[in-house]
Chain A
């Protein structure tokens, strides 16, 4: 055989040695089983910890197994508070990786120590699985708590209430409190002034001239839970943050920084409002304005917080409820 023919046949052997079908261990596109397979519950709903104490950093998770990946939803409902925790996912297994509950809530109020009903439902299936568990202790949130009103009003606070009609300015107790049992109730009709009532919360109420916050305004978050009556839409809550820029222990009007948050109550029921300290603005009559003092957000120089409840004097009766004022670090409060 000539050399070129030898080379040719060698090439034939070489190119055909690669022939042979290997199938990839992954498939392309979504799972056909998920799209068109029959749904079945292989293992029913179970709870890893039926008596869970979130105050001791315990968690609990839910388990179940299905024949295919489905969109599922777990709803935990506090039977006393009415609080709801929603966990959703798309999988064929519920386990600690995708169905763990740490005591947090999806919609206020926060869970209490109470019995909870669990309901597992599916987006495209009619099945519903149910169970219950008991919360022995509620989740503890890290942060500097201004007040949750469980022990009444801080004696170091000052307040002013207009002498209008149907005035309310007091701590009240209810199962519907977003946290604990108490909240602060503010309301009344003041037809000559926007201001209905105010509370001054000086740093001295917590044992020091200024609030015990860090120097980093991007790390400090102010959080408050406010309630809006479905029938009223005229309430405005204004929070003012006065800084002691020059460190003389007092706030000097028109000299030192005062930042504000103006909250127009819009969502019915309880809502959580959070704001990063660095995002606080100088407001003059509700409009952003140039800084009054050095213009530097200095949370460690925060001297006093004031909460003012306002309403248009011609709008009649105004009302809100307030609870759980807390500074958190690194991010807003995640209830």
Chain B
């Protein structure tokens, strides 16, 4: 025991907190954000018969302030309360004004050992237990589109660390050892996902546990447990949902002849069941993934190879809940044409409309749009996938260019409706460059981005059943050009083309496939945008932009139309 000297330690942030607390701090501070957003839309139907029913122009917008008060009653406690005041343009004297509680949390340190947080917490675990994957087609978009995506993400607490906003409690602590093991961390959280209605819906909780053993700078081993579950007795129903997921992680780091090497591996299993419901299935399945990567710093070259297997019955609500609920309809121009048919949402709608987005974990596999992503609709945790992902990249210190070329070669573990598995191929290229840094004396910012992604889903057919071949091509290009101090001109374009045929699975409440629907797709969407932005500071800007969304579908007398959007956005964080 003498050799094993350990000290209870406040976890990393706890340490940071102590350092911070050591300084003189105000007991009250204000935090929050302010935003003004205005849209002027115009729809142009490309049809032989003029649309005389739909109102062709829509204006909408709002002003909102998130006003947060940070209270520090003592050195070990911090209370945050944030109120959102929102007013629609045109809503005076109370009309259209809303007051909401956006955030309430208490956090602190118990006995200098355990760090805790109560109320609203942002939490993430591993990619297969609790991970909030990005929405489709909006990750590598030009900055001019990113402004609208950021608004949606901010409103829904979608952060870059892929955490998910929960309401509950979290705690963490760590043990530091002198020999053999560097540190042992413990993290735990529980949140309430759904409240009982005292009749048919029970209280549903999500709990996560993580123990992370950091042996050294070269080896980390972890165990994760996540469970979405009902509390029996909180309603009159006998059914009780259970979805535990247990995973093991391993991270190995090394350096060999100037090459940074790493292995990230995770393996685990899940079980999904509805207790006391004989009609519900009992899913058991597993996953296994290991990524090897190497980065030669001198040359900037990076390579990685990721081998993955995710069973068809693997269910992890914490990781598989999608940001976008694809069964919604757009708020702008919800119906159009003289027949007032429902308009299917397009990229522009997903980019700006909050109502499509989810906040709570879902116990089933949510629907998705095969045209936007048929390969990884649930991120890395997409069930029924196996294969490899290869990446070749470039990233070098002091060189203002980054590039990555990624190839997915996946297939189903279990065929859907046939023994033949579907095969998935994806080629993805992302390039970004600060062009001004190539020229001496060009001090103003100039950043260009380009990305493209080609997805293909195939499966052979026979004389009885049609084969599958669905192809999606996306490319983005954008530029931010600073012409005066803090004043940027921006341009961006995103093009999506799709064509082909697939059978899409129709799932029941338990995510079991009970039918297949023939899915024919042929069409394109194109977003073109230009505008200007003035940056008052790093945390505030005003932006005006014009976006044209051209949409056409050639399937089943598809309707082609354009939506032209003018947007004025003022954004500030404080």
Which A residues are within 8 Å of any B CB, using their own CB? 1, 4-5, 7-8, 11-12, 15-16, 18-19, 21-33, 35-38, 67-68
Contacts and interface: CB of A to CB of B under 8 A. Distances in A.
Interface string B258-273: 0001010100000000
A35 B516 contact: yes
Contacts of B466: 36
Given A21-B411, A27-B415, A4 B515 contact: no
Contacts of B384: 28
Contact of A28 (B254, B307, B411, B417): B417
A133 to B, nearest CB: 32
Given A25-B419, A29-B514, A36-B518, A15 B503 contact: no
Interface of B: 218, 252, 254, 256, 261, 263, 265, 288, 290, 292, 305, 307, 309, 312, 384, 386-388, 411-419, 421, 463-466, 503, 505, 512-516, 518
23 contacts: A1-B256, A4-B254, A8-B263, A12-B292, A18-B307, A21-B411, A22-B413, A23-B413, A24-B413, A27-B418, A28-B312, A28-B417, A29-B416, A30-B513, A30-B516, A32-B417, A33-B465, A35-B515, A36-B465, A36-B516, A37-B464, A37-B465, A38-B463
B464 A8 contact: no
Contact of A31 (B309, B417, B421, B518): B417
A27 B252 CA distance: 37
A23 B414 contact: yes
B417 A35 contact: yes
B560 to A, nearest CB: 29
A160 to B, nearest CB: 53
Contacts of B465: 32-33, 36-37
B416 A28 contact: yes
B414 A11 contact: no
Nearest to B386: A21
A27 B416 contact: yes
B464 A38 contact: yes
A1 B252 CA distance: 17
Given A15-B290, A19-B388, A33-B464, A28 B513 contact: yes
A8 B503 contact: no
Given A22-B386, A38-B464, 9 more contacts: A8-B254, A8-B261, A16-B292, A23-B415, A28-B414, A29-B516, A30-B417, A30-B515, A31-B417
Given A29-B515, A36-B465, A8 B419 contact: no
A228 to B, nearest CB: 38
B415 A5 contact: no
B256 A12 contact: no
Contacts of B516: 29-30, 32, 35-36
B374 to A, nearest CB: 16
Q: Which 7 A-B pairs have the closest CB atoms?
A: A29-B513, A32-B417, A15-B290, A24-B414, A19-B307, A37-B464, A8-B254
B256 A8 contact: yes
A289 to B, nearest CB: 36
B253 to A, nearest CB: 8
A212 B516 CA distance: 58
A16 B421 CA distance: 22
Most chain A CB within 10 A, of B218, B465, B512, is at: B465
Nearest to B289: A15
Contacts of A8: 218, 252, 254, 256, 261, 263
B265 A26 contact: no
A16 B290 contact: yes
A138 B162 CA distance: 73
A11 B254 CA distance: 11
B288 to A, nearest CB: 6
A68 B515 contact: no
B281 to A, nearest CB: 11
B43 to A, nearest CB: 36
Contacts of A29: 416-417, 505, 512-516
A284 B503 CA distance: 64
Nearest to B463: A38
